[in-house]
Amino acid sequence: MPKNQVLLLILSLCSVGFLQAQSSKVVASNPASSILKKNVNLMVRLPDSYAASQQKYPVLFFPQVTDEMVEEIAVLTQKLHKENGTPEMIVVGTNVEDKLEREQENAVYDKYLSYLEQELIPSIEKKYRCSGQRVLHGRSLSGSFTLYALLSKPTLFNGYIAATKEWYEDNNDFFTGLANKALQSADKFKDRKIFLASLNGAYSNSNISEVNENMTAFAKLLASKSGNKIASKYQAFDDWGISPYPGFKEGLLFVAKAGK
């Protein structure tokens, strides 16, 4: 074989190997849900060390995503593990094609929470080596769902990362009222952690100072009303930086570290 053809073959094989190394490790399936009465796009990404170990891992649940987004979050999680000592995590993404936004009635949220509690979490913890520690991460419209989950089912997850586009006035009224009611039973919130994030000036947010003031006050409300049983933090970002997931790094560092 001529030398130039041999060289091309070697380069081709190297390119294939590189692409395979860069390919997603997400395992996708489409199980039926009796609660949601539809099939769910389910995506699971195991930690890099999973196959070679017998340890148990915390699980990060990420609603309303694609397999590419699950892979990106898993890569970021591994990076934070190596650089900052946060735990390696099993990343579980779902997409049920129902918008988890505040404009809809609570029944949409409640049904999805029931699905998480009664179907998804038990199936994941039965199939994989899970430590029992769970984090819920919601971005964009599902950021509000993450906050709703904390106030409605506080023991379902240990940590919550809620990154939302804006904090509308009706969001503030709804969640402040929900928090005041839910936190009357503050013991249920013991050792829960939530990180709230927003983006300064994005998505026609023309009242940045009020949004920041309201969200800062809300984070303080969660801590004070719970008797500091909830560890809460709010941070506004000027831009998303290198990550397409606002506040994920800061949020995972906050909810995954020991203590408060």
Confidence at residue 16, expressed as pLDDT on a 0 to 100 scale: 41
Give me the residue spans of the domains in the chain: 35-256
The answer to whether the CB of 1 falls within 8 A of the CB of 61 is no
> In the chain, where do the E strands start and end?
27-29, 32-33, 38-39, 41-45, 57-63, 90-95, 130-139, 159-163, 192-199, 230-237
Confidence at residue 78, expressed as pLDDT on a 0 to 100 scale: 94
Residue spans of alpha helices (H) in 85-159: 106-115, 121-127, 142-152
Confidence at residue 236, expressed as pLDDT on a 0 to 100 scale: 86
pTM: 0.86
Q: Which of 122, 135, 113 is nearest to 59 (CA)?
A: 135
Give domain 35-256's CATH superfamily: Alpha/Beta hydrolase fold, catalytic domain (3.40.50.1820)
SS3 60: strand
pLDDT in tens, the chain (260 residues): 554 554 444 444 444 443 333 456 999 999 999 999 999 999 999 999 999 999 999 999 999 888 999 999 999 999 999 999 999 999 999 998 666 655 556 888 899 999 999 999 999 999 999 999 999 998 765 578 899 999 999 999 999 998 876 677 778 888 999 999 999 999 999 999 999 988 775 554 556 777 788 889 999 999 999 999 999 999 988 765 556 676 888 999 999 875 44
Confidence at residue 212, expressed as pLDDT on a 0 to 100 scale: 83
Confidence at residue 55, expressed as pLDDT on a 0 to 100 scale: 96
